[in-house]
Amino acid sequence: MRVLGIETSCDETAAAVVSDQGDVLSDLVHSQVPLHAPYGGVVPELASRDHLRNVRPVISAALEQAGMRLADVDGIAVTCRPGLSGALLVGVQAARGLSWASGKPIVGVDHLVGHLLAPFLRFPNKPETPRPTFPFVALLVSGGHTALYRVDGAELAQVRELGATRDDAAGEAFDKVAKLLGLGYPGGPVVDRLAHEGNAERIPFVQPMRRRSSLEFSFSGLKSDVARWVREHGRPGDDQTLRDVCAAFQRAVVDTLVRKSLHAARSEGVDQVVLAGGVAANRELRESAAAAGARVGVRVIAPSLRACTDNAAMIAYAGSVRLLRGEDDRGGIEVSPRTALRRLTRKGPGARA
Ligand code: KG4
Ligand code: ZN
């Protein structure tokens, strides 16, 4: 089965064609970063309008790159939650139009499920990354979300949230700290690069929610601590100080993410941790999680950098799981700013809701 995936939940207009085995036949992303950069964050109204301009050309280019016409695909998958409502509606309406015109089945996909299944993608001409087996624990760290999940299978109902952030998402913390330091938007990749040459020990920022037993996160205290440091010392002009601030901030975030992910794996009795979402592209997170996992017998699996950040290939693959089961949302797709993933609630020792 070959599926056309469409993604417009935030600031990327993306389309891809993927097989139900995870083979990526085409993968296009039109980024709106330059459009939003002057505002230091995504402006929803601008995002919707830009999706509207680009969604059809991006879909056509994805089909062309796969050497296919719409008639050749077996189904259409589109992100319908969570995200900016106006942005989501553009992708969903485009997908519904194509489904109506071609008579192909269509399914709505939860963007977060797409991220969690990204390690199953195989990109052409890229070294194959190891695939996880179910069950695994997943750390999803993006601009809008930070949470730990137990993943027992590829279906929505088989994914349960174990803990999440109480305030900012990890990517949001990277972006806000970068803004404080005058590093532009999005900040994650720049902080990652500068931190690599910094001394993480020089500035002792607060450690966010370090308590080992809790699987909740909080990054607003750390962000305020960096803001306090900048108020007291001024924006670092000296390059080495800037690198040291980035390194200290990043170390505090990464330490918490790694510690809690491994704690989640241990308490769930699983030996694999998947890193997902844009922040999973972070070099220190990938290296530190792999090293810490190896020490306790947990395999850490991080998708290729291409698969970590927003893309439509992961949406197409997650959609193929639903389409293979014969599901079809031609009757209607509910668009929502919130995820459909649910919290794990235990009813008794070891019981799952
Ligand atoms: O998953 P994603 O592409 O979009 C959302 O669904 O939010 O994640 C984007 C987030 C941004 O906050 C960006 O700053 C962060 O991921 N990010 C990184 C890195 N690359 C992207 N954060 C830290 N280190 C990176 N290398
Ligand atoms: Zn995302």
Report the nearest-CA residue for atom 7 of ligand 1. Answer: 143
Specify the higher pLDDT residue, 59 or 127: 59
Q: In angstroms, what is the span from residue 128 Cα to ligand 1's centroid?
A: 22
Domains of the chain, CATH where assigned: 2-125+307-344 (3.30.420.40), 136-302 (3.30.420.40)
Concatenate the DSSP letters of all residues of 185-201 into one string.
SS-HHHHHHHHTTS-TT
Report the nearest-CA residue for atom 22 of ligand 1. Answer: 188
Question: Can you give the pLDDT at residue 260?
Answer: 96
Q: How many residues does the chain have?
A: 353
Report the nearest-CA residue for atom 8 of ligand 1. Answer: 278
CB 198 within 8 A of CB 251: no
Cα-based distances in Å from 239 to 123, 242, 285: 37, 5, 23
Is the minimum distance from the CB of 278 to ligand 1 under 6 angstroms?
yes
- Give 70's DSSP letter: G
Bridge-based pairing of strands 136-141 and 106-110 is unpaired
Is the minimum distance from the CB of 171 to ligand 1 under 6 angstroms?
yes
Q: Which ligand is nearest to the CA of 111?
A: 2
Burial of 283 (0-12, 13-18, 19+ CB in 10 A): middle
Question: Can you give the pLDDT at residue 126?
Answer: 80
Q: In angstroms, what is the span from residue 278 Cα to ligand 1's centroid?
A: 3
Distance (Å, rounded) from C-alpha 106 to C-alpha 325? Answer: 12
Bridge-based pairing of strands 2-7 and 12-19 is antiparallel
Q: pTM to 2 decimals?
A: 0.94
pLDDT band at 346 (very low <50, low <70, confident <90, very high): low
Report the nearest-CA residue for atom 21 of ligand 1. Answer: 278
Is the minimum distance from the CB of 310 to ligand 1 under 6 angstroms?
yes
Is the minimum distance from the CB of 254 to ligand 1 under 6 angstroms?
no
Is the minimum distance from the CB of 175 to ligand 1 under 6 angstroms?
yes
Query: What digits encode the pLDDT tens for the residues 289-316?
Result: 999 999 999 999 999 999 999 999 999 9
Is the minimum distance from the CB of 279 to ligand 1 under 6 angstroms?
yes
Is the minimum distance from the CB of 249 to ligand 1 under 6 angstroms?
no
Q: In angstroms, what is the span from residue 155 Cα to ligand 1's centroid?
A: 25
Among 33-42, 45-54, 100-109, the range scoring the smallest mean pLDDT is 33-42
- Alpha helices (runs of H) in the chain, residue ranges in sequence order: 33-36, 44-65, 85-102, 111-117, 170-180, 188-195, 220-233, 239-268, 283-295, 305-308, 313-324
Question: Can you give the pLDDT at residue 132?
Answer: 97
| Cis peptide bond upstream of 105, omega within 30 | no
Q: In angstroms, what is the span from residue 31 Cα to ligand 1's centroid?
A: 13
Q: In angstroms, what is the span from residue 116 Cα to ligand 1's centroid?
A: 15
Is the minimum distance from the CB of 208 to ligand 1 under 6 angstroms?
no
Query: What digits encode the pLDDT tens for the residues 172-231?
Result: 999 999 999 999 888 999 999 999 999 999 999 988 877 667 899 999 999 999 999 999
Residue of 143, 134, 251, 133 lying closest to 192 (CA atoms)? 251
Residue of 162, 175, 133 lying closest to 278 (CA atoms)? 175
The DSSP bridge partners found for residue 140 are 147, 276
Query: Which of 174, 257, 310 to probe ligand 1 with, by most ligand atoms within 8 A of CB?
Result: 174
Q: Which ligand is nearest to the CA of 187?
A: 1
Q: Which ligand is nearest to the CA of 110?
A: 2
What mean pLDDT, rounded, does the chain reach?
Answer: 94
- The C-alpha angle with vertex 239 and arms to 234 and 244, in degrees rounded to 5, equals 75
